[in-house]
Structure 1
């Protein structure tokens, strides 16, 4: 009988020990799962931070590329694409539409209207040249948004006349620049491109 009791006590002890071992294992597994979950959450946060950083870098790169592209602004045009022609006189001022394109980087000059439209805020340089014949008044002005900025004028010269003027302007995006022939004035151009209009962006602002 004593031996049987001893056997039963050993079995009970073994069972209790097994239960303790199982509980310890479960506790260890739960702890490892908790650590794994915390690690995964940390990795998710790091991944999101990296994604946001990459997105911000991409946006910044696109912005820099757009700024660099916007810096490429330059045009130079002649009045006639071919042949020769005398313009004027007109009873009102007439916008000059330059048809021969030497360069139009940035496509800011419109050959259908003769108007340059600033693509970005910045400081720009413009120059225009005009040719006329003897005994004819020649007068041309450069305008910014319909406001006269500078002009050239010759009153009935004795010989053929060439004149030019230039100006540096601060423009906002969308500002317009063009040249106009005064009323009762003349000018001339041919394949030699005596009459021209040019401009370019000095620096954005």
Structure 2
């Protein structure tokens, strides 16, 4: 008789998958992920039927972690520019505090491995629908895939996080400049 699945082990596998993707990209093998989690590869497949299922679940796990951080900054009563700035700051702070998870999220967000259901679940988690609608209707994104807008946002955030990490004493200045670039592209 098979042993019951452990939520703690499942979480540990998701964390190992995130670390492996951050280190090796989406091509990271399930053998490597299992090794990083300290389990046999067969155990990984008891929790996830395929590598694609594991990566989709890993992406949603990371999005949940990020969304929790973003939600702490969300004040629905604030005007859109203030909400956008608060969410931007929390996103950059989360990326700086969770560099590996941020790299994994960024890599997974632009891969074809993610299903439409996973992408829809990600969008549904975002704490500020007004901001998402403003981004989608911006002049730059008009007629383009929402994934293009996500990729542009992630690129600006990646550069901001990279420079803030290299020069922590200038982190706040980079956050401000990164937000200004984001704002001009999407909110002006």
TM bucket (normalised to shorter chain) is under 0.3
- What TM-score do the two structures reach when normalised by structure 1? 0.23
Name which one, 1 or 2, has greater alpha-carbon Rg.
1
Question: Which structure has more helix as a fraction of its residues?
Answer: 2
TM-score, length of structure 2 as denominator length: 0.25
Relative CO higher for 1 or 2, CA cutoff 8 Å, sep ≥ 6?
Answer: 1
Q: Which has the higher strand share?
A: 1
